[in-house]
Structure 1
Amino acid sequence: MTQPTLGKSSCLLAMADERTIRRNLSGITGQAPRFWVYFGTDTACCERIADLLGDAVTRRHIAQDLQETADSSRAEYIDVIGGLSAACSSRLWWLTTVSEKNPFVSSLFLWICYLRVLSGLLSGDGTPFLVIAEQQVLLDACRRLAVHAGYETTVLKPPLSGPLFRLRKAGKDWIRGIHFVAGQVFRILLARSAGFSRKNRILSSGSLHVIHSWTDRRSFQDGTYQNVYFHALAPIIEKAGGTAADLVQVLPTLPYRSAVRMLRESARPVMLVEEFLRFRDPVAAMFSVWRYRPPIPGVVLSDGLDITPLVRAELDEGRFDTRSAQSYLAYCAGSRLARRLRVASFIYTFENHMWEKMFNLAFREHSPETRRIGYVHSIVNRMYTCYTLGRQEAELVPLPDVIAVNGERAARVLAGSGFDRRMMAVWGALRDFAIQGSPGPQDDHGGKTVLVATSAGLGPSLELARIALLSFGNDPVLRVVVKFHPTVSAARARALLPPLPAHFIVSEDPVSVLLPASDLLLYTESTVCVEALGQHIPLIHVKSSFSIDMNILEDVDCVPSYGDPQAIREAAHRILAGPDPCGDVAERAVADILAEKNPAAVRSSLGSGQDASRIP
């Protein structure tokens, strides 16, 4: 094949495919790219490409540019999606990842930020460079932007592209859909045989409060069932004379048959979501989502960036996402639950996800007297864009009657993100956080210990571990303990990392043991940072070069944030050599984030005869 020739003001673009880069890059003539940037979240793939390119082309890390761009683009992105919601508002629209704005699922905001970072690079001195992107639609948008900026562009195509690639993807989508339907039918069969909602007479009581429960192995840690997020709520309800029953939704990480068997031994009233589904519902859900194609107008941002192809691409991709179909089933189950039982209140964990909106729609349509309460169980961050409302969608999104929060900070952030402060109630922290810790086992290392606590997701975990290696790999005076998130396989993560030096340890011990024995914490978005702050353990937030930061402590001035390994290493030694940088600020910050449990506020929210939107 003809090899591309790069000259001044040239931009080479390639998919994140090692074979493509290996096959083409060695044959480039003329002026080779001076640097390369990576647009994607697969950190392992990025590292393999970095090894392939070697020292011939320098990688440009974009952590600082990416996070600054995200911060400046956030408000416009929220309003753009709000405008689309106003134009497309319907039950099926709320099942799209575009409307949900979930940064862990939707790539749209990240793509916008990548393109604006690229725009900054294109406005430089015309030095030729290489752009590597993980999605074809993003690569196409990068090419259009480069052409508009006056660059000559060359696109390196992967071996498998075009019709063959689309055919393979369609086959995978159909297989995924069939697997989803079969799995749901199996669950419905087991749920009907269990019949919790039919056999438990207490569910017919006059004041029934249904608590939605995401359930996995953590729910059965001591051999009996407990609601991980709401185990402190049922006693408050029962003390007030009500009946609390859990609506259990079993996560895929726990075999459904095992969950049903263990739930039979529950001392608490429980129901399974699938008890309220019909066998035809999974098929109806899949086909409803597949057929939905909202009419999307042209979407152009304030700087002239046309993101219409990106919006349409994400909507098309989401049509084959079983997560949307799963959320559709929440509407089906919620509708039958609302008609079958007299429910005083429906309580769930609030993150403004699509499944929540389906339950809210179901109760609003079939049991309007039921009070819907969403409880913010996690730490709210302004860049977690699920927790936002655009100006045009504020009256359209299916929200609960009451948003209960775990602290004043959550209420403040939500109010600043478009939510009405009058619909919020401060319940305090209903789940346990290890704010006070007891020292864990010490070893004879004799030096300082740095704990690296990763967040959920393999990619972010690998990125943080690699940054820790770059920062402290040649610093044996420190002991570095890497603790992977419980949802990440430590064995798999280690296999994707380079060999660890002797002073690096991957620990399986719980954070409650590791944290008190640490002198410094490195984190990206883990809630462990709040526990460390409460225990007066210094912290450093690590910026990402791959995704948008959701730094829980971004407004706590004594917690620094860096993306460069050298800056992290220097800051770590400076912090470890001095006094606690936060001091009294730590206690005030933790109290602001996690208020004490407030049973009176809970009872007030559950009470009838008052306008829920006016609860102080």
Structure 2
Amino acid sequence: MTKVAIAFSLHDFYMFNRNHIKPDEKNYYLDFSDNLFLSTEQLEKSGFLKISEETIDKNGFKWNYINLLGNLGKRINSKEWWATSIASKNRISSILPILLFQYIRSIKIIKEANYDTLLILSPNLILFKALRDFINSEKQNFLSTRNFPDNIFFSFIINLLRKVREIKKVIINEFYFFKDIIGQATVILNNIKTIKKAYDHSYFNGLNKDFDYTVIKTHVYSNSFIQSSKGNDLKDPFFGDLPSFLSKREKIISLLHLHGDYNKIIGSINRCNDQILIPWEYLLNRREVIFSIFKLFFWRIKIKPTFLYDVNISPVVSAELKRSRFTLNSYLFYESMKRLLNKINIKKFFYTFENIPWERMAILSLREFSSTTKIIGYQHSIVPDADTGVLLSKDEVSIGPIPDRIFTTGEITSNIINRQSGFKNGIVSPACALRYEYLYKMKPKERTNSGNILLALEGSPSVVRMVNYVLDQLANLDDINLRIRAHPVMPYKTIKNYINFDVLDFENVTISKNSLVIDDLLETDILIYWGSTVALEALSMGIPLIRYKMGNLFSYDPLFELSNLKWECSEQVPLIDIINSIYKMNNSEYMLELRKAKSYLDRYFYPITKQNLGKFFTV
């Protein structure tokens, strides 16, 4: 009988290798760890052969994944479904693409059974039960990495203990889910209390049902306000000058997500005399929050058999749905919009288009209680290959909560979305880059060959791998000065314990203390990044880029379509060789690459002109 085991650690592997491997058998391994805890050489020395490279085309897989979620949305089509992270294909909160890719790859190999023993290394832990159940259904022997006696009695005991452990795990997971929901509710209730107490109610009370309003749903921070002679002015960090431009013809309300110190932000809002600013939680009450707790906790859905690449992936979808579920914040946005619509007439509703759950709730509420409102999404930032959330299949476009129009930052982003989606009739079209006006003020800096390299990090724990690679390659090199710029949401101190090196040991490595990115870029020859938008700013200044290839299923590179003035590195390539080749590039070649790169950026981010702003009037 063929045998299959799953190892999640080096200890699991050594236990399995000692207890189960026979050198005269066909022993294969499937590695999802990217050789992080075992090298190919170590595995081969232990008598394992590598399964051939995957046959699943990643571009085809991406399109099938998008279609899968559209099909599920059409089949389920409930308010609760659209509130989930899975339904929005959120690349941060949902890991469904990785789970599906690993599961389908494993299932196809298990079905072929061209082995005596198969060891699956480091699949996502969520897949353990689904893989084990499938292995057993194929009448193959699922092995524990430990050496239990091979007889019926012990098999019965082991299976019984597994079932007990699974029941215990379900109970614990439900407990923690309920605890998490209560925690979210507590935060929301405290925010409501703070806002109701501190907010100037005259803003809301002064609204008139006889007028038609344009609502701009945006986000604000403590530093989003500037002082003026009349008090404060909100400088919208996402829509820029658009509210001021539209206010010449329309009555504008800014509906706000607050990020940071609520009391401080509310104080700044109250001093904005010429703008109507309403925090979205202000429109909620305690009863709605408490009712939603139980609504979400007891919501269940059974995913019917669903196939992708001839594999039933319903167990995986169900498992990820239980893990990621939804947030109370997003779900309650439906009630917030409903309350606002009871107070005023909304002619137009602008919002930051990312296709995440709170947006879906806002649209569902608008469609139900204000069917004549024009809903306009604004794609306000980059669209990397991994941003599947903004890519909608024909099924999702036909049935899902989507806006009437979507304006993008420019031609490139519009083309990416249209090329990979089911949108028709010009729903998606370019406008301008409201958040990136400063890029047009950046001039290329003088090309330098000083050895100053900047490593820009993202706000994700995944950057640890890139940092380890770059430090391994560049630390202690006499001609290189490496500066590491951490992301504001993840300072270097939060990840330093996971780095294999202490930067204090290296004279040529420093951690940036600059608050502004441009201060680092002005002293930089070359930027190394994985998915940071700092790459856009660097390129605007003529700084060559080296992108670290993380090996993700989909690329997080904001410039994934661009090849000019950009190189790529990975563990298989000496980083210093790439750096030296950039330094050796002659000026004429450099200028040609720079012109092509700048041309791409100009198409990615359209300038803010009266003509481009006027597109927001015409919907």
Q: Same fold (TM over 0.5)?
A: yes
> Quick check: 1:219 aligned with 2:219?
no
> Quick check: 1:139 aligned with 2:128?
yes
Matches within 5 A, 1:295-444: 295-302=302-309, 304-319=310-325, 321=326, 323=327, 325-416=328-419, 417-420=421-424, 422-432=426-436, 433-434=438-439, 436-437=441-442
What SS does structure 2 have at the residue aligned with 1:394? helix
Residue 567 (structure 1) shift: 5.2
- The letter of the residue matching 1:409 is I
Q: Call closer, same or farther: CA 1:389–1:438 in 2, change over 3 Å.
A: closer
Cα distance in structure 1, aligned partners of 2:234 and 2:598: 33
- The letter of the residue matching 1:282 is V
**Which deviations, in whole Å up to 9, do the C-alpha atoms of 1:163-193 show, x marking residues without a partner?**
4433333332222121222222222222223
> Quick check: 1:594 aligned with 2:594?
no
**Which deviations, in whole Å up to 9, do the C-alpha atoms of 1:198-255 show, x marking residues without a partner?**
44676448453222122334435889753211232122112x322333211123xx23
Match of 1:484 in 2: 486
Match of 1:531 in 2: 537
Matches within 5 A, 1:140-155: 140-143=129-132, 153-155=142-144
> Quick check: 1:111 aligned with 2:117?
no
Cα contact 1:110–1:548 (8 A) shared by 2: no
Cα contact 2:459–2:487 (8 A) shared by 1: yes
Matches within 5 A, 1:97-246: 97-116=85-104, 118=106, 130-133=119-122, 135-143=124-132, 153-156=142-145, 161-196=165-200, 198-199=202-203, 203-204=207-208, 206-219=211-224, 225-238=234-247, 240-246=248-254
Cα contact 1:426–1:598 (8 A) shared by 2: no
- The letter of the residue matching 1:244 is I
Match of 1:247 in 2: 255
Cα distance in structure 1, aligned partners of 2:299 and 2:385: 30
Cα contact 1:350–1:375 (8 A) shared by 2: yes
Q: Call closer, same or farther: CA 1:141–1:515 in 2, change over 3 Å.
A: farther
Alignment gaps of 5+ in structure 2? 147-160
Q: Call closer, same or farther: CA 1:58–1:428 in 2, change over 3 Å.
A: farther
Q: Call closer, same or farther: CA 1:383–1:199 in 2, change over 3 Å.
A: closer
Q: Call closer, same or farther: CA 1:578–1:441 in 2, change over 3 Å.
A: closer
> Quick check: 1:257 aligned with 2:263?
yes
Cα distance in structure 2, aligned partners of 1:595 and 1:208: 27
Q: Call closer, same or farther: CA 1:345–1:367 in 2, change over 3 Å.
A: same
Match of 1:603 in 2: 614
- The letter of the residue matching 2:74 is A
Match of 1:3 in 2: none
> Quick check: 1:14 aligned with 2:7?
yes
Cα distance in structure 2, aligned partners of 1:567 and 1:308: 43
Cα distance in structure 2, aligned partners of 1:35 and 1:540: 33
> Quick check: 1:545 aligned with 2:551?
yes
Cα distance in structure 1, aligned partners of 2:54 and 2:513: 32
Q: TM-score, normalised by structure 2?
A: 0.82
**Which deviations, in whole Å up to 9, do the C-alpha atoms of 1:303-355 show, x marking residues without a partner?**
x2221100111222244x4x2x2111111001111221222322111011111
CA RMSD of aligned residues (A): 3.8
Match of 1:43 in 2: none
Cα distance in structure 1, aligned partners of 2:601 and 2:415: 14
- The letter of the residue matching 1:450 is I
User: Which deviates the most, 77-86 or 129-138?
Assistant: 129-138
What SS does structure 1 have at the residue aligned with 2:5? strand
Cα distance in structure 2, aligned partners of 1:67 and 1:578: 38
Residue 277 (structure 1) shift: 0.9
For the pair shown, the structure with the greater C-alpha radius of gyration is 2
Q: Call closer, same or farther: CA 1:522–1:262 in 2, change over 3 Å.
A: same
Q: Call closer, same or farther: CA 1:249–1:75 in 2, change over 3 Å.
A: same
Matches within 5 A, 1:269-284: 269-284=276-291
What SS does structure 1 have at the residue aligned with 2:454? strand
Cα contact 2:211–2:344 (8 A) shared by 1: no
Match of 1:461 in 2: 463
What SS does structure 2 have at the residue aligned with 1:395? helix
Residue 471 (structure 1) shift: 3.4
Q: Call closer, same or farther: CA 1:249–1:156 in 2, change over 3 Å.
A: farther
Match of 1:4 in 2: none
Cα contact 1:345–1:606 (8 A) shared by 2: no
Cα distance in structure 2, aligned partners of 1:289 and 1:281: 12
1:495 to 494, 497, 503: 497
Q: Call closer, same or farther: CA 1:470–1:155 in 2, change over 3 Å.
A: farther
Cα distance in structure 2, aligned partners of 1:507 and 1:118: 43
- The letter of the residue matching 1:277 is L
Match of 1:505 in 2: 510
What SS does structure 2 have at the residue aligned with 1:358? helix
Cα distance in structure 1, aligned partners of 2:136 and 2:317: 21
Residue 88 (structure 1) shift: 0.7
Q: Call closer, same or farther: CA 1:465–1:221 in 2, change over 3 Å.
A: farther
**Which deviations, in whole Å up to 9, do the C-alpha atoms of 1:405-425 show, x marking residues without a partner?**
110111111111222351234
What SS does structure 1 have at the residue aligned with 2:554? coil
1:83 to 49, 71, 80: 71
Cα contact 1:39–1:546 (8 A) shared by 2: no
Cα contact 1:88–1:295 (8 A) shared by 2: no
Cα distance in structure 2, aligned partners of 1:149 and 1:446: 61
User: Which deviates the most, 285-294 or 155-164?
Assistant: 155-164
Q: Call closer, same or farther: CA 1:257–1:167 in 2, change over 3 Å.
A: farther
Q: Call closer, same or farther: CA 1:65–1:101 in 2, change over 3 Å.
A: farther
Cα distance in structure 2, aligned partners of 1:218 and 1:38: 43
Residue 398 (structure 1) shift: 1.0
What SS does structure 1 have at the residue aligned with 2:68? helix
**Which deviations, in whole Å up to 9, do the C-alpha atoms of 1:547-601 show, x marking residues without a partner?**
5322221211323434335254433322232142723211110011000014334
Cα distance in structure 1, aligned partners of 2:137 and 2:522: 54
Alignment gaps of 5+ in structure 1? 1-6, 41-45
Residue 481 (structure 1) shift: 1.7
User: Which deviates the most, 463-472 or 125-134?
Assistant: 125-134
Identity rate, percent: 19
What SS does structure 1 have at the residue aligned with 2:79? coil
Q: Call closer, same or farther: CA 1:545–1:412 in 2, change over 3 Å.
A: closer
- The letter of the residue matching 1:248 is L
User: Which deviates the most, 357-366 or 158-167?
Assistant: 158-167
Cα distance in structure 1, aligned partners of 2:575 and 2:373: 51
Match of 2:31 in 1: 37
Residue 162 (structure 1) shift: 3.0
- The letter of the residue matching 1:242 is E
- The letter of the residue matching 1:531 is E
Cα contact 1:462–1:497 (8 A) shared by 2: yes
Residue 270 (structure 1) shift: 0.9
What SS does structure 2 have at the residue aligned with 1:97? coil
Matches within 5 A, 1:561-580: 561-566=568-573, 568-579=575-586, 580=590
